Amino acid sequence: MAVRIRMKKLGRKHRPFYRICAMDIRAPRNGRVLEELGTYDPMVPETDARALLKADRIRHWLGKGALPSDKVGVLIKKYGPEGTHLEEQRLALARLAQGRRRAIPRQASEAAEPAGESSPADSAEPTEPPAEA
């Protein structure tokens, strides 16, 4: 059986998302998959964070004689096992994670406490001082 490493299209209209898969060469684009090897999301703002590949599984399939498609070949060359852009990818993923960490606490704190209101426990002050023994 001839194996090809290519993209399987998912997502919706105007919002594509791809899985990089090892497939039989005769299978249709979204047909039966032998193994999923990674993802490619062209809508991610950081160019180097778009492709996430399983390097050990890619190495396995290439060793068995699987041929990558043109686009997947470029992604493997950049982000694969011995990729040329691995350091840039690591930095881009860190920047994205940092942006998410910064956005999540703000949203969570706004949802937990509506603007202008304080909890009753914060405004309650002790009415009498503690008795000394």
pLDDT per residue as tens digits for the range 90-114: 999 999 998 888 776 655 555 555 5
In a domain, 37, yes or no: yes
Position 1 scores a pLDDT of: 73
In a domain, 36, yes or no: yes
In a domain, 69, yes or no: yes
Please give the mean pLDDT across all residues of the chain: 85
Q: Could you tell me what percent of the chain has a pLDDT over 70?
A: 77
In a domain, 114, yes or no: no
In a domain, 101, yes or no: yes
- CB of 97 within 8 A of CB of 75? no
Give me 92's structure tokens: 């881009």
- CB of 79 within 8 A of CB of 89? yes
In a domain, 128, yes or no: no
Strand order of the β-sheet with 15-24 is 51-53, 35-40, 15-24, 3-12, 67-68
Q: Which domain holds residue 43?
A: 3-108
In a domain, 70, yes or no: yes
What is the tally of structural domains in the chain? 1
Neighbours of 80 (CB within 10 A): 24
Domain CATH code at residue 43: 3.30.1320.10
- pLDDT band at 133, cuts 50/70/90? low
As a whole number, mean pLDDT of residues 70-88 equals 93
- Please indicate whether residue 33 or residue 125 has the higher confidence score (pLDDT): 33
Helix then strand count (H, E) for the chain reads 4, 5
- pLDDT band at 7, cuts 50/70/90? very high
Residues 127 and 132: their CA atoms lie apart, in Å, by 15
Position 30 scores a pLDDT of: 86
pLDDT digits (tens, 9 = 90+) for 26-53: 988 888 999 999 999 999 999 999 999 9
Predicted TM-score (pTM) above 0.75: no
Whether the pLDDT of residue 132 is over 80: the answer is: no
In a domain, 125, yes or no: no
Q: Which of 132, 6, 26 is nearest to 69 (CA)?
A: 6
The conformational region for residue 116 under phi > 0 = left, psi -120 to 50 = alpha, else beta, is left
